[in-house]
Structure 1
């Protein structure tokens, strides 16, 4: 019986060895991190990858510039799994690459004033394009 098992194993392994192939191994999911400086960037991801967006707000002359929670243009391609805005103006989100396609992640930066100061009526967009393969 042991001899039969060895012969069976050798017979099933022979085709792959004969073609110089290695067994398929699942590619581990990658993590792609995007920040303020990635505005306008295009990235490529694979199905199963995690895309994290971390935008940093900042104070300037008694004004606080804050970010909205990043959002996906197509949840069938990039599904948001987490998102938050912090009191200091930071915002973050995590996305899961669900299916092949292209989606855009967007957020907006706007001003929140402190006492006795007026904000300029300016909204600054942030955008990154993710192509999932």
Structure 2
């Protein structure tokens, strides 16, 4: 009896560890540094980021990767993501693929609040519901910090510059 008891303990521990590992990391909220893809330096957003509001800065690149697919016997496809204000957030690339996925890349050009939106629609030949599944992200881009004029000057430095001019 003792043998089976000791065999069950490692099995239970193994199952608990497997369950902990099986939970997808994307199900937990991500912070902005976690959204940055190290290979490209871009902020990468997916289906799971729907409804988020994120701070961004001028010069940031935002990549949107939306995954379509099949659900309930129907095929669902994303339209190309678009920005609410292309002056602040111009789209530099986009693609809607036959498999229902859509991607887009945006470059933050200015400051302000801008939304990226996309819609997922049924694309089956017949029997599609008229439902549209929207996706939206809000980005807040702050104005860049003003350039510093340099270290403060002492009174003697100001006098020497004034006397040199004239």
Which interval holds the TM-score relative to the shorter structure?
0.7 to 0.9
Q: How does 1:10-89 map to 2 (within 5 A)?
A: 30-89=41-100
Higher relative contact order (CA 8 A, sep 6+): 1
Of Structure 1 and Structure 2, the greater helix share is in 2
Q: How many Å apart are 1:30 and its aligned residue?
A: 4.5
Match of 1:131 in 2: 140
Q: Distance in 1 between matches of 2:63 and 2:141?
A: 14
Rg (Cα) greater in structure: 2
Cα drift, residue 63 of structure 1: 1.5
1: distance between equivalents of 2:42 and 2:141?
A: 13
Q: CA deviation at 1:108?
A: 0.3
Instruction: Identify unmatched segments of 5+ residues in structure 2.
Output: 1-39, 143-166
User: How far apart are 1:75 and its partner, in Å?
Assistant: 0.8
The alignment of Structure 1 onto Structure 2 pairs a total of residues equal to 103
TM-score (normalizing by structure 2) = 0.59
Determine the C-alpha separation between the residues in 2 that align with 1:121 and 1:31: 35
What residue in structure 1 maps to residue 17 of structure 2?
none
Q: What is the distance in 2 between the residues matched to 1:49 and 1:108?
A: 24
Cα distance in 1 for residues equivalent to 2:70 and 2:88: 34
TM-score by length of 1: 0.74
The whole-number CA distance in structure 2 between the counterparts of 1:47 and 1:79 is 12
Partner Cα separation in structure 1 for residue 116 and residue 44 of structure 2 = 12
Segments of 4+ moved more than 4 angstroms: none
